[in-house]
């Protein structure tokens, strides 16, 4: 039984974490991304390099645009901010005007700075993030066109982006299959990936939260069935990452960031389904993922990137640390007596403040630092993959969880 002194200490720690997350959100993440707004052509600028050179004519990735739309929508709701709602509307208008393919359906991979189709690949991952963004914008705006478009994308994925065994990855503009080079890494080309499945689940969860559509619910149940049968490795207590079409794992890879992200994200989505047996089963899996990351990848107050074929990548990546803050905080909320998870969450946030937050004016966070905390200058400050999704969501989740 905790003493009053222990309870007071924990309350002080969580209140401080909340205050610091709010400060990072309001004083850095939000101002930076508002400064990336393109008032001439719409949307948000696509590229700021490590040396803070802004390329106003870089392509605008639709994943980046979707994540920005999600972020400003959710942040506006959380902070009750009209200027952030206006930023969300700005992102929404660009997406709906330029990023949808009116001929073949779905959203492009990227468009030019002025909204012309650039990379016309149709990727399931990309469609899922558009659903996530549109559902988040609908939660803010109650614009029926937003949720209609999200539902259209849901039915498009279900009809064109999967087979009888599950979700496929990459397609040409007309939805004929193409090589999955965008979501394949580590020298493999995967027919199916854990990453796409995770974010289809995330997008569908956001859509189901707003619609309670029975088709979406059935799809969520189907994804969890795939997850339990093929993605979660019950022997190693990790997720497998890259698969062939028959769900054979293609590489011995432990992606620490995806595991800690999944440990809270999948459980959160599962709770929408009102199935106590399923929730218990998924919660147990998520516990194993988080514990394994704590035991193997949490080193020096931060989480390493990954382990491939027994070789540790000790790079500290911005999004991995962000997800670890939430994932460990979630574990502590489930098991309050296991305070090691709360302390890990707080220490990782301090690591972020000390090493990943870029102190230069008009910047945001470094993409990654090495094991000694030195920034890796080969990565951009903002691009189609570097946006306020992980770090912004981290702050918003901690605010929600510490009310």
Mean local confidence (pLDDT), 55-69? 98
Q: What is the pLDDT of residues 189-205, one digit of tens each?
A: 999 999 999 999 999 99
Between the CA atoms of 233, 237, 239 and 240, what dihedral angle is there, to the nearest 10 degrees? -50
Q: What is the pLDDT of residues 195-232, one digit of tens each?
A: 999 999 999 999 999 999 999 999 999 999 999 999 99
Q: What is the pLDDT of residues 102-122, one digit of tens each?
A: 999 999 999 999 999 999 999
Question: In order of start, what are the domains of the chain with their CATH numbers?
Answer: 1-30+256-355+365-403 (1.50.10.10), 36-193+237-251 (1.50.10.10)
**pLDDT given at position 2:** 65
pLDDT at 256 over 60: yes
**pLDDT given at position 1:** 53
pLDDT at 34 over 80: yes
Nearest alpha-carbon partner for 99 in 134, 65, 145: 65
Nearest 5°: the CA angle 284, 13, 393 is 60
Averaged pLDDT score across all residues of the chain: 97
pLDDT at 400 over 60: yes
* Cβ-Cβ contacts under 8 Å for 108 (sequence gap 6 or more): 62, 99, 100, 101, 117, 118, 119, 120, 121, 122, 126, 173
**pLDDT given at position 89:** 98
Mean local confidence (pLDDT), 254-282? 97
**pLDDT given at position 3:** 72
Between the CA atoms of 159, 162, 163 and 166, what dihedral angle is there, to the nearest 10 degrees? -130
SS (H, E, C) 300-342: CCEECCEEECCEEECCEEHHHHHHHHHHHHHHHHHCCCCHHHH
pTM > 0.85:
yes
Q: What span, in angstroms and rounded, lies between the C-alpha atoms of 320 and 302?
A: 9
Q: What is the pLDDT of residues 272-319, one digit of tens each?
A: 999 999 999 999 999 999 999 999 999 999 999 999 999 999 999 999
Q: What span, in angstroms and rounded, lies between the C-alpha atoms of 263 and 327?
A: 6
Better pLDDT: 1 or 346: 346
* C-beta separation of 303 from 320 below 8 A: yes
């Amino acid at each position: 039984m905790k003493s009053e002194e222990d309870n007071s200490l924990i309350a002080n720690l969580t209140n401080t974490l909340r205050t610091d997350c709010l400060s990072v959100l309001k004083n850095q993440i939000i101002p930076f991304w508002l400064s990336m707004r393109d008032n001439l052509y719409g949307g948000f600028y696509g590229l700021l390099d490590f040396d803070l050179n802004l390329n106003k004519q870089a392509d605008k990735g639709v994943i980046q645009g979707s994540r920005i739309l999600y972020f400003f929508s959710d942040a506006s709701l959380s902070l009750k901010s009209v200027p952030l709602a206006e930023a969300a509307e700005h992102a929404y208008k660009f997406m709906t005007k330029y990023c949808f393919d009116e001929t073949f359906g779905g959203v492009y991979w990227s468009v030019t700075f002025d909204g012309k189709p650039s990379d016309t690949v149709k990727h399931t991952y990309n469609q899922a993030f558009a659903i996530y963004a549109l559902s988040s914008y609908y939660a803010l705006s109650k614009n029926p066109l937003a949720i209609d478009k999200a539902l259209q994308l849901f039915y498009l994925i279900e009809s064109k982006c999967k087979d009888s065994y599950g979700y496929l990855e990459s397609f040409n503009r007309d939805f004929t299959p193409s090589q999955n080079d965008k979501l394949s890494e580590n020298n493999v080309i995967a027919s199916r990936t854990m990453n796409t499945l995770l974010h289809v689940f995330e997008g569908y969860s956001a859509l189901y939260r707003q619609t309670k559509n029975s088709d979406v619910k059935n799809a969520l149940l189907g994804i969890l069935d795939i997850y339990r049968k093929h993605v979660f490795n019950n022997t190693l207590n990790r997720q497998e990452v890259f698969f062939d079409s028959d769900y054979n794992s293609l590489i011995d890879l432990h992606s620490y960031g995806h595991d800690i992200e999944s440990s809270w994200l999948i459980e959160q989505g599962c709770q929408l389904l009102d199935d106590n047996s399923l929730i218990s089963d998924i919660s147990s899996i998520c516990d194993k993922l988080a514990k394994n990351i704590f035991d193997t990848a949490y080193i020096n107050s931060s989480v390493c990137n990954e382990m491939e074929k027994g070789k540790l990548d000790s790079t500290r990546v911005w999004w991995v640390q962000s997800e670890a803050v939430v994932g460990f905080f979630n574990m502590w909320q489930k098991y309050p007596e296991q305070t090691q998870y709360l302390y890990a969450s707080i220490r990782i946030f301090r690591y972020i403040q000390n090493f990943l937050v870029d102190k230069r004016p008009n910047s945001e966070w470094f993409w990654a630092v090495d094991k000694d905390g030195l920034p890796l200058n080969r990565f951009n400050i903002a691009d189609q993959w570097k946006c306020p999704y992980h770090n912004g969501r981290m702050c918003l989740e901690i605010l929600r969880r510490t009310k």
